[in-house]
Chain A
Amino acid sequence: DTAVSQTPKYLVTQMGNDKSIKCEQNLGHDTMYWYKQDSKKFLKIMFSYNNKELIINETVPNRFSPKSPDKAHLNLHINSLELGDSAVYFCASSQVVTGDNYGYTFGSGTRLTVV
């Protein structure tokens, strides 16, 4: 059973298009995240949602809009795609610290290529 699943795994699209990436977690975690990994492998947080509420928005262009229909899902919609949006996008989830169980669980990533 996949704990954090993202779809699609690969996404190739043209500049100017609008696309969405979906994420689902079956861990019962309260908080979900989107991270962006650039071509140099640097990982940076984009958004964080706790129980469907946005709690972190890290200076991400407003072309990026996260949506959380329930606490098990966090989707990422991107409008007017640009070449610089090409990256690997990771979804993750975590639970409020409870002893030794704390940690983030990451999905396998979505490789977005804008041409």
Chain B
Amino acid sequence: AQSVTQLDSQVPVFEEAPVELRCNYSSSVSVYLFWYVQYPNQGLQLLLKYLSGSTLVKGINGFEAEFNKSQTSFHLRKPSVHISDTAEYFCAVIPVYNTDKLIFGTGTRLQVFP
């Protein structure tokens, strides 16, 4: 079975500051990894994904994430946040050989202050 841990339920940060949202996963098999963003009262939008290849993945809106297999982590980063980045961020994994079940972490609320 797979599980995803997002240790920080809330991350407050000032505008233009850098941010890192942490994600660790547990799995006995290889997985694909994803970050989704949910803006207030909206659906889920894919930020970025890691399937294979380079461990540094760039996504939309200036976000990037780095896959670290030895630490089973997939932390999300942005060098300078904007007010508009205020949202809920979800890390998710799916087993490579059983792609029927995307498993989410509990989410991290990023609150950007002016």
- Interface residues of A, Cβ cutoff 8 Å to B: 31, 33, 40-45, 48, 50, 55-56, 90, 92, 94, 96-97, 100, 102-109
What DSSP secondary structure best describes chain A's contact surface?
strand
CA distance A40 to B88 in the complex (A): 11
What DSSP secondary structure best describes chain B's contact surface?
strand
CA distance A5 to B99 in the complex (A): 22
- Interface residues of B, Cβ cutoff 8 Å to A: 32, 34, 36, 38, 42-46, 49, 51, 88, 90, 96, 99-104, 106-107, 109
Are the C-beta atoms of B43 and A41 separated by less than 8 Å?
no
Query: Using a Cβ cutoff of 8 Å, how many contacts connect chains A and B?
Result: 56
Are the C-beta atoms of A56 and B101 separated by less than 8 Å?
yes
* Chain B residue nearest in CB terms to A45: B101
CA distance A100 to B102 in the complex (A): 17
Q: Name 7 interchain pairs, CB-CB below 8 A, sorted by A.
A: A31-B100, A41-B109, A43-B44, A55-B100, A102-B51, A106-B44, A108-B43
